[in-house]
């Protein structure tokens, strides 16, 4: 008897003029589920067997898919499973923060193949971009040493940095004003020869979580990112939502009291920047990660006090996220050590009552996600892969309306 277990996949369409969308649907199905046969793909994507066969042949010729040995299921004819070729595409991801930058190279499956980091001069983009270009060049050399085809198969450079972007008055040091005014994307495109895209750090963290973390296979999730600032990456209907100007999810800017005397943005009280200030730490220290971890493990009094205060404010932010976005789960991600992030999640319980507090939940309302400080760079690298290969229903809608 054939295996009829559910396969995670978006639906394709058998209408004319939608082959590019169907191709992306097939790639995503293979990424989510691993190896699948043509029959499996047809059943999961609701495409005809002929359409699936045509797309598989195209993907094979493009070096994106490879056939595995035939397998027999039950008494039926043997079937040939297909899987994605990790070396079919590569991308570079760049994380720019106030004091440092990280660059990674990933393959089609999101595996990190090369990475490097460097310190940045604070709020001096003209000097900082020179450091960044050298860092990217070094990562590309390392990648070329791993795969001779990497340069031909590089689909782009993804950049992630703190938002919000494009505000009228962005002199607040929290927003990296000099970098905001600098022609960063144009400079990087010219210096690398790659297509360059930008997203905020929380969105990049959500992208990483969607590929290799707790949001993998989840259609509706919000990743609450606690870094130097605070943001929320929104995964809605299986796609990353960035808003009209790339500033969706800037929850760190939300005021904790009505505007006026005493009103304070969330990130001024519950971010790692507020922790550094509270403890008198220098965020530019090369061992800042180790310093924070040691203080948590020692249950330092000042550290524990900050955790309690930050948890109080972040508990409110989870309630706000659940009320507005109705996600299946909220995932706390952070560039902090896992011990600190875990204590923070524990201190946020019990959560405030909300519409998410319902019986029969399959996922917890709040869970701990990735705490790897490289996760933002990974998410930034995944963005060009996503733009090149992920199905977007907004694109299929445009195709249908243009053909109507």
What integer pLDDT is reported at residue 275 of this predicted model?
97
**Each residue's pLDDT expressed in tens, for the chain with a length of 404 residues:** 344 456 766 555 554 446 788 898 899 889 888 899 999 999 988 899 999 999 999 999 999 999 998 887 766 678 899 999 999 999 999 999 988 999 999 999 989 999 999 999 988 999 999 999 999 999 999 999 999 999 999 999 999 998 888 776 655 666 788 888 899 999 999 999 999 999 999 999 998 898 788 998 899 999 999 998 899 999 998 888 989 888 899 999 898 876 666 678 899 999 999 999 999 999 888 899 999 999 999 999 999 999 999 999 999 999 999 999 999 999 999 989 999 999 999 999 999 999 999 888 999 999 999 998 898 999 999 999 988 888 765 444 443 333 33
Q: Where are the domains of the chain?
A: 13-82, 88-202+375-393, 215-368
Q: Which CATH class is domain 215-368?
A: alpha beta
Structural contact between residues 113 and 143, judged by C-beta atoms closer than 8 angstroms: yes
Q: What share of the chain is helix, strand, coil (3-state, %, to 5)?
A: 45, 20, 40
The distance of Cα 313 from the centroid of its chain, to the nearest Å, equals: 24
Spell out a b/e string for 126-155, using b for 16 or more CB atoms within 10 Å of the CB, else e.
eebbebbeebbeebbeebbeebeebeebbb
**Domain pair 13-82 / 215-368, same fold:** no
* DSSP assignments along 45-89, one per residue: HT--HHHHHHHHHHHHHTTSEEE---B--TTS--B-EEEE-GGG-
pLDDT number for residue 32: 81
State whether CATH 2.40.50.140 applies to domain 13-82: no
Chain length of the chain: 404
* Rounded CA separation 223/232 (Å): 5
Do the Cβ atoms of 92 and 150 come closer than 8 Å? no
pLDDT recorded at residue 177: 83
Residue 164: cis peptide before it, omega within 30 degrees of 0? yes
Could you name the CATH architecture of 88-202+375-393? 2-Layer Sandwich (3.30)
Alpha-carbon distance 40 to 29, whole Å? 10
pLDDT of residue 216: 83
pTM, to two decimals: 0.84
């Amino acid at each position: 008897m054939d295996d009829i277990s559910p396969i995670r996949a978006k639906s394709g369409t058998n209408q004319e003029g939608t082959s590019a969308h169907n191709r992306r649907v097939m790639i995503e199905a293979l990424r989510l589920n691993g190896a699948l046969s043509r029959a499996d793909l047809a059943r999961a994507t609701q495409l005809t067997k002929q359409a699936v066969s045509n797309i598989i042949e195209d993907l094979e010729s493009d070096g994106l898919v490879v056939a595995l040995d035939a397998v027999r299921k039950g008494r039926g004819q043997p079937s040939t499973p297909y899987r994605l070729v990790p070396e079919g595409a590569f991308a570079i991801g760049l994380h720019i923060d106030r004091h440092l930058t990280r660059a990674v190279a990933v393959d089609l499956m999101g595996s990190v193949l090369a990475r490097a980091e460097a310190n940045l001069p604070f709020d001096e983009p003209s000097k900082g971009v020179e450091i960044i270009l050298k860092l990217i060049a070094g990562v590309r050399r390392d990648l070329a040493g791993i795969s001779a085809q990497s340069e031909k198969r590089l689909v782009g450079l993804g950049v992630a940095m703190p938002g919000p972007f494009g505000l009228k008055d962005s002199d607040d040091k929290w927003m990296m004003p000099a970098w905001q005014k600098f022609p960063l994307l144009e400079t990087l495109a010219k210096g690398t020869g790659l297509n360059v895209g930008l997203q905020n750090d929380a969105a990049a963290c959500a992208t990483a979580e969607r590929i290799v973390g707790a949001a993998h296979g989840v259609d509706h999730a919000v990743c609450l990112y606690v870094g130097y600032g605070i943001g929320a990456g929104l995964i809605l209907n299986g796609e990353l939502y960035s808003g009209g100007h790339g500033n969706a999810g800037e929850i760190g800017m939300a005021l904790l009291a009505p505007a006026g005397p005493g009103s304070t943005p969330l990130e001024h009280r519950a971010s790692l920047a507020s922790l550094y200030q509270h403890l008198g730490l220098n965020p530019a220290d090369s061992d800042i990660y180790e310093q924070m971890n040691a203080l948590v493990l020692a249950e330092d009094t000042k550290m524990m006090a900050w955790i309690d205060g930050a948890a109080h404010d972040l508990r409110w932010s989870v309630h706000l996220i659940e009320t507005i976005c109705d996600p299946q789960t909220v995932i706390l991600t952070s560039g902090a050590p896992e011990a600190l992030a875990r204590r923070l999640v524990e201190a946020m319980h019990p959560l405030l009552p909300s519409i998410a507090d319902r019986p029969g939940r399959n996922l917890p309302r709040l869970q701990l996600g990735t705490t790897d400080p490289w996760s933002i760079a990974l998410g930034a690298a995944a963005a060009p892969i996503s733009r090149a290969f992920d199905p977007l229903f907004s694109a299929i809608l445009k195709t249908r309306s243009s053909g109507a």
